[in-house]
Amino acid sequence: MKKAIVGLIGLGLLGGAVNVMASPESDRQEVIKYFTTKYPNISIEDYVYGALAFDADSKAQYDAIMEFPPYESVLEKGRKMWETPLKSGKKYADCMPNGGRNIAGNYPYFDEKLGKVVTLEDALNACRVANGEEAYKLGDKGTMGTLTAYMRTLSDGMLMNVKVESPKALAAYEDGKKTFYSRAGQLNFACATCHIQNAGVRLRSELLSPVLGQTVHWPVFRGGDNLVTLQSRYQGCFKQVRHVPDKQGSAKFNNLEYFHSYMSNGLPMQASVFRK
């Protein structure tokens, strides 16, 4: 199986133009097969817990914390932001599909007209701008972070459902896949080194989470109150391997999020969870 993953890495780096018919679905199945073979006792549904799926004690602690989440006041603030009319008088719910409910699992999506990947945060900013407000800074805890901490809870339980349906969309997906599998930084690690090959293994004091399920639960509250968005986490992981991270919302990060989210297709969303 390791060989298959090494093969995947090769594909990620060299594929692109050659392997036009590479299928995101077969990539996803390959990753699932890798983990279910390596860890037969962990069920697919448990991958939403990340590293906690490998550590019963930490999972029990997590369950206790999640009964009375220490960050409820942030969600309440986010709810007020969500419900407050924008300058035009319209609300966010008026510009998001389905009033903003049960949609987070459809993001990021490839916008054929814009010719690029659009994240949920990008869509909320587009809504703000169209309604007379300034865009929020991506990853900012007090604004976009707080707004999405609440807004994403409206999709709790929805299954991740990212689609790759055109050649251009596939190119964006392949670009994200390449970022995920490319070694970079002074330490020469790829995302895949830690979150595929070494998932379930301890790195210093931390158990590494598997790529499967990594995108279904954002933002997280680290230590209970430190709000971290998904792309802020990307930046943190890039820095860990001494690699200069991109800006949030860059084509590189959005394409990475597109590929990364596709890998979690079929898993249920649960926004705003506790993490160490």
Residues annotated as catalytic are: 237
**Shortest Cβ distance from residue 63 to ligand HEC (Å)?**
15
Nearby residues of 111 by Cβ (< 8 Å), 6 or more positions away: 117, 118
With CB under 6 A as the contact rule, the residue among 71, 238, 259, 274 that binds ligand HEC is 238
Q: Counting Cβ atoms within 10 Å, is residue 268 exposed (0-12), middle (13-18) or buried (19+)?
A: middle
Q: Look at residues 275, 269, 155 and name the one whose alpha carbon lies nearest to residue 225.
A: 275
Task: Give dist(CA 12, CA 17) in Å, integer.
Answer: 11
With CB under 6 A as the contact rule, the residue among 11, 191, 227, 267 that binds ligand HEC is 191
**Shortest Cβ distance from residue 89 to ligand HEC (Å)?**
37
**Binding residues for ligand HEC, total number by CB under 6 A:** 21
- Enter the tokens of residue 188: 């020469």
Q: Look at residues 214, 201, 210, 254 and name the one whose alpha carbon lies nearest to residue 231.
A: 254
Report whether 258 contacts 173 (CB < 8 A): yes
Task: Give dist(CA 143, CA 136) in Å, integer.
Answer: 7
Report cis status (omega within 30 of 0) of the bond before 219: yes
Binding to ligand HEC (CB under 6 A): which residues in 170-189? Answer: 189
**Shortest Cβ distance from residue 127 to ligand HEC (Å)?**
25
Task: Give dist(CA 171, CA 71) in Å, integer.
Answer: 38
**Shortest Cβ distance from residue 4 to ligand HEC (Å)?**
20
Residue 128 found at the interface with ligand HEC (CB under 6 A): no
With CB under 6 A as the contact rule, the residue among 31, 150, 233, 255 that binds ligand HEC is 233
**Shortest Cβ distance from residue 195 to ligand HEC (Å)?**
5
Residue 241 found at the interface with ligand HEC (CB under 6 A): yes
With CB under 6 A as the contact rule, the residue among 31, 220, 263, 267 that binds ligand HEC is 220
Residue 193 found at the interface with ligand HEC (CB under 6 A): yes
Give the number of residues written for the chain.
276
Phi, psi of 8 (to 5 degrees): -60, -40
Residue 51 found at the interface with ligand HEC (CB under 6 A): yes
Backbone dihedral region of 88: left (phi > 0), alpha (psi from -120 to 50 degrees) or beta? Answer: alpha
With CB under 6 A as the contact rule, the residue among 35, 92, 234, 274 that binds ligand HEC is 234
The nearer residue to ligand HEC, 86 or 237, going by C-beta atoms, is 237
Residue 206 found at the interface with ligand HEC (CB under 6 A): yes
**Shortest Cβ distance from residue 252 to ligand HEC (Å)?**
10
Amino acid at 167: P
Amino acid at 95: C
Interface residue list for ligand HEC (CB under 6 A) = 50-51, 189, 191, 193-195, 203, 206, 208-209, 214, 220, 233-234, 237-238, 240-241, 260, 275
